[in-house]
Amino acid sequence: MFNWVLLKRVFRAGILDFSRNAFVSFASILVMTVTLFVVGLTVFAGVILGSALQELRDKADINVYFVQSVAEDRILEMKASLEALPEVSSVQYLSHDEALAAFRERHKNDQLTLNALEELGDNPFGAVLNVKAKDLSQYESIAAFLQDQQSQDSGSVIDKINFYDEQHRAALARLELITDSSQRLGFIIIALLIITTIAISFNTLRLAIYTSRDEIQVMRLVGAGSFYIRAPFMVEGVLYGLVAGIVTLLLFYPLAYWLGTSTGNFFGGVNIFTYYTGHFLFFFALILGTGALIGAIASWLAVRRYLKI
């Protein structure tokens, strides 16, 4: 049968230990707040980095240029074939008139180029398919599929596939290298920061429990069990984590509000304030859960040292 009396005593003792030494409690909460703040910042950094890298990926594509004489039905047929490939994320079709309009828009400030275009009289552009892959590494297989289609088509409706341009291919390779390296480096930095701050938090809680070492040894000498000795300190550690978590959540609100516009304009379009408020329950569970877990584990480890007489 569950011993409710023992549980009440454990919680009462833990709350008493939490409240009776204000300076130690303040120091422990302060250090744990820094720890949880770093945890929260790593989530923000991960979101910003992921959004920025995704924006870079979205700029990558393969352009398939068609000869002017090709029928639209033939282009749409190839578009459907590309969309059926598992590697393809999307395919955008630009008719030769839309291709001309896009060219004019890109060069609207270059009057010399526009004048040269007017001299031609007719529309020199063919239709275009802009193909986006689900992953940067998949452009090679998509280009191979297109080249195979081009070799099988006796009429040769494809004029050019820009993937085989040296500059375009090199740009895709650099982009893949940058995104992969950024993800690995970001993960390493985040992991180091979290490990460092958690280690500092552990040591601070050990120092807090050090002040009660004589009390622990006396309880041990009079026959108190390990659980009865350890549990109040674990409750105390959980309380440190919960209070630090609430403080951290409150600090994040003005910080996210202040950074929201900046991150929305410069980091892939993610407004951190909108993200924070929209995912508040996730942050609430993450920050308070992490704080409680760190407090409980650190206290359990710290008390174990003084249980040995």
Residue 291 has pLDDT above 50, yes or no: yes
- 128 in helix, strand or coil? strand
CA proximity to 65, closest of 123, 122, 129, 117: 129
Map out the domains of the chain with their CATH numbers: 4-56+176-306 (no CATH), 68-156 (3.30.70.3040)
Q: How far is CA 286 from CA 82, 236, 281, in A?
A: 42, 19, 8
Residue 7 has pLDDT above 70, yes or no: no
Give the Cα separation of 138 and 62 in Å (integer): 11
Residue 5 has pLDDT above 70, yes or no: no
Task: Look at 35-39, 54-58, 142-146 and tell me which has the smallest mean pLDDT.
Answer: 54-58
Contact 288, 245 (CB under 8 A): yes
pLDDT digits over 272-285, tens only?
A: 888 888 889 999 99
pLDDT digits over 203-257, tens only?
A: 776 776 676 666 766 766 766 666 667 777 778 888 888 888 999 999 988 888 8
Confidence of residue 200 (pLDDT cuts 50, 70, 90): confident
- 304 in helix, strand or coil? helix
pLDDT at 309: 47
Residue 270 has pLDDT above 80, yes or no: no
CA proximity to 102, closest of 70, 128, 79, 121: 128
Structure tokens at 240: 């440190």
pLDDT digits over 100-158, tens only?
A: 777 777 767 767 766 766 766 676 777 888 888 887 778 788 888 888 877 766 556 77
Residue 192 has pLDDT above 70, yes or no: yes
Mean pLDDT of 38-62: 76
Mean pLDDT of 284-291: 89
User: Which of 3-12, 228-237, 261-270 is most confident?
Assistant: 228-237
pLDDT at 284: 92
* Residues forming a β-bridge with 129: 64, 93
Mean pLDDT of 59-82: 81
Average per-residue pLDDT for the chain: 76
Q: Which residue has the tokens 């910042």?
A: 41
Percent of the chain with pLDDT strictly greater than 90: 4
pLDDT at 4: 67
Q: Per-residue DSSP letters for 192-236? A: HHHHHHHHHHHHHHHHHHHTTHHHHHHHHHTT--HHHHHHHHHHH
Give the Cα separation of 307 and 216 in Å (integer): 7
Mean pLDDT of 166-182: 68
State the burial class of residue 71 (Cβ atoms within 10 Å of its Cβ: 0-12, 13-18, 19+). Answer: exposed
